Each structure stands twice: as C-alpha cells, then as structure tokens.
Amino acid sequence: MTFIRPEAVTALRRWREVLAGIGVLALALLWLFGRPGLLQLMGYPMLIIAGVLIWIGVQRARFRIDAGGAGAVQVDEGQITYFGPLTGGATAVADLERLTLDRGLTPAHWRLDAADTPALLIPVNAEGADALFDAFARLPGLRTERMLSELTKGQDQAVVIWERNPLRPAHIRLH
C-alpha cells in the first residue's frame, strides 16, 4: 500500500537533485550555527556543495519531461541509442555534427545529425531521455541555458541548438 500519490512521486523524482541539495544545505547550516569546532569549519565547504547540487538539480529538472513517450533511450560510454516502435538507431556523441530540437513533430523530437549516418530522431519524452542531458553536456560550446529555454517554448519550428561547424559566418547570431 502506498501513501504517496503517483503524481507526487513523479514530481519528487524530477526534482531529486534539488531535494538532495536542500538536505545538504540544511546540514551545512546546522553545522555552521551549532557548536564551534571542526564541524563548524566543515559547514563552509558544505554550503558550496549544496549550492552546486541545487544549481545542477534545477537544470536537470528543467530538462526532464514526463516519460511515457514512444521508445527508449540508452546512453552508454558516449553512444546514444534509441529503440523506437517504428525507427531507431545509434550514434556516438563524438560524431555529432548538429543537434536540433524539432518542435514541429508531436511530441517534440531531438534530431541528432552525424556524419555518414541518417538523422536520429528521439522524442523528448521517450523513456530514459533524461540521460541525454549528460550526453549533450559533453558537446563543446553547447549553451545549456539556451537549450533548456528552447525546450520549454511552445513554438512549432525546428531550432538548431548546437553545431560543430556552423554554416553561417561567426559574426551572425543563430537567433
């Protein structure tokens, strides 16, 4: 018998890193304002750790979208694999040339373009798609905040999030 509603469990899982950071923050404040001594000195580094945990947790929570979409994603040692009901494929993160968020499809899809392979389309709500956050973070020059803001916009167009070798001159902005 469960005492917590499934929606609450889903929300807690989405924000789990933030909740862990809040727990570390509470412990750090307890140590800082407790008795003077060695634990009080350890409170200052714990404050920094708590801040980093909360900051990273907020980014990851914004990236996570309710699962239950078509297919499953697996990220293993720099290899992104998508197992879909109609399509699928694999590509290495190191081989990516372009990352696009295609909001014209329902639901929105990540489009991964790599050299010498067909484009890999992954629904943003596929099972395990939250593992893509760490894979995308490895891309050199990726602006994480821009990616997260584009993910929450409600427009119906494809947006290039990252390119290895931009097709436009460097002085012209992407958006």
Percent of the chain with pLDDT over 70: 93
In this prediction the pTM is 0.75
- CA-to-CA distance for 39 and 44, rounded, in angstroms? 9
Strand order in the sheet with 109-114: 120-123, 109-114, 96-102, 158-163
- Tens digit of each residue's pLDDT (9 = 90 or more) over 95-116: 999 999 998 888 889 999 998 8
